[in-house]
A = this chain, B = another copy of it.
């Protein structure tokens, strides 16, 4: 697999480029509008054809490049069937598969941060990679206090849909605010301060209720824009 992790400093968002080396078909996961030209240049320089843009969820902190990438390249935009972005090319749910040539992306529903959150799982030889959006972060997780967020649901998503992956699964999160780039399922089971396996559901729910975070500064702009495929239907 051809694979690149890309970072947006403004929103601390990670974007991922995945491609099948044989057919050169490529997908971007969670591309950010402001980085459209950077990401298109990389696709071009690597000799790839962008066929899919996948969203892990309707973001509240940045506007997706999905709609514009579809306009520019013909790539299909892929979102959750529970996300509300009607304008997307394809709506997927738990157990669906997205094919990039010989590379297969498995969809896992991991709601809780929002009700439409998806994780994407890819197997590449002996490696398993999980793109977890805001469901599971490095030593953290997404907040659960808006966009139909629910901490009990998130707890169960992580336990049932992510911690059931092999321990050496490489986890690639939707964000990181402290400079981590990746982690593994084993590490999060052992060291996640909210979601280590020793922490019960009630304790997790209490911790999440106590966070009392301010809303993301772009929320009122980003959520409606993302429901409209980034403003480029």
Interface positions of A (Cβ within 8 A of B): 4-9, 12, 15, 35, 38, 42, 45-46, 178-182, 187, 190-191
Contacts and interface: CB of A to CB of B under 8 A. Distances in A.
Integer count of this chain's copies in the complex: 2
A45 B191 CA distance: 7
Contacts of A12: 9
Specify the main secondary structure of chain A where it touches its partner: mixed
A188 to B, nearest CB: 10
A187 B9 contact: no
Contacts of A38: 178-180
Nearest to A180: B6
Nearest to A182: B4
Contacts of A9: 9, 12, 179
B45 A187 contact: yes
A24 B97 CA distance: 38
